[in-house]
Copies of this chain bind each other. A is one copy, B any other.
Amino acid sequence: MPETSTQPRTTQSAAYTPTDRTVPTRSKERAAYDHEMVHAILDEGYVCHLGFVRDGAPVVLPTLYARAGERLYVHGSTGSRPLRMTGQADPGLAVCLTVTHVDGLVLARSAFHHSINYRSVVVHGIAHQVTDPEEKRLALDALVDHVVAGRSADSRPANTKELAATAVISLDLNEVSAKLRTGGPNDDEEDLGLPYWTGVVPVTRGHGTPVPADDLAPGIELPDYLAG
C-alpha cells in the first residue's frame, strides 16, 4: 500500500474540461477528469444520487441509472417527481448526479486524519426527457443491462403500455469530475510514534447466491450471465 493517499493520473484517454463546479476547493490532487476513469466508476455503480431543486430546496434521491457512451439515463414512473419536473421544465431540469464507491476505512493514529478511501463521480448538467421512441427503447435496455449485463436480451421487452408509463431522462457527460482517495493513512510526522494501530480496512462489495422467485417454473436453469 503506498504511503501517499493520491497518485497522479496520467492516462492518455480523452478528458472532460474542468469548470468552476468540477474543480474541488479542497484536495484538488484527488480530482480526475479522464473519460476512462469516469466511465469505470459510473459503470460499477448500481444506484446514483440524483439532486435537483424543488421549491428552492435541494432534493437528493437514489435511483437506477445507466451509461451509453457519453450520456446517462435515469428512468422512473411518469408520475415521479424529478421525471415529471424534467418534462415540465424548459429547456430541462438542472441536476447533479453523483455515484460513489466506498473502498476502505482509513484509520490514522490521529482522529483528524481518519478518512475513507472512495471513488466518486459528480455530473452537473441539464436533464432532458427522452421523447424519441428508439432512444427510449435503447435507454431502457441499457438500464436493465446496467443491473445485469446481458439481461435485456433475456427478458420480455417493454410493451406499448409500459413504455408510456415510463419516463426516461438523459444527462450528457460534459461537466464531470471524478474524485478518489486511495492508499494508507497520512499521519503527521510527530504522530508516527503513537501506540495506535494504523492502516486500512478494505470495504468490499459482492454478490450472494441468486435466490429464485417462489414461482419460478421448474426446469428454468440459472442463466450463464448469473453463474459466478
| A59 beta carbon closer than 8 Å to chain B | yes
Are A53 and B57 neighbours in the complex by a CB distance under 8 Å? yes
Q: A residues touching B (Cβ–Cβ < 8 Å)?
A: 1, 3, 21, 25-26, 46-47, 49-54, 56-62, 64, 76-77, 79-81, 84, 94-98, 100, 102, 105, 107-112, 114, 116, 118, 120, 122, 124, 140-141, 143-144, 147-148, 151-152, 154-159, 162, 166, 184-185, 191-217, 220-223, 226
Residues of chain B with a CB closer than 8 A to A108's CB? 155
Q: Which residues of B contact A199 (CB under 8 A)?
A: 210-213, 216
> In the complex the two chains form, is B58's CB within 8 Å of A94's CB?
yes
Contact B96 A111 (CB under 8 A): no
CB distance from A185 to the nearest CB of B (A): 6
Which are the 4 A-B pairs with shortest beta-carbon distances? A202-B208, A51-B60, A51-B58, A49-B49
- Known contacts A60-B51, A112-B166: A197-B211 contact under CB 8 Å: no
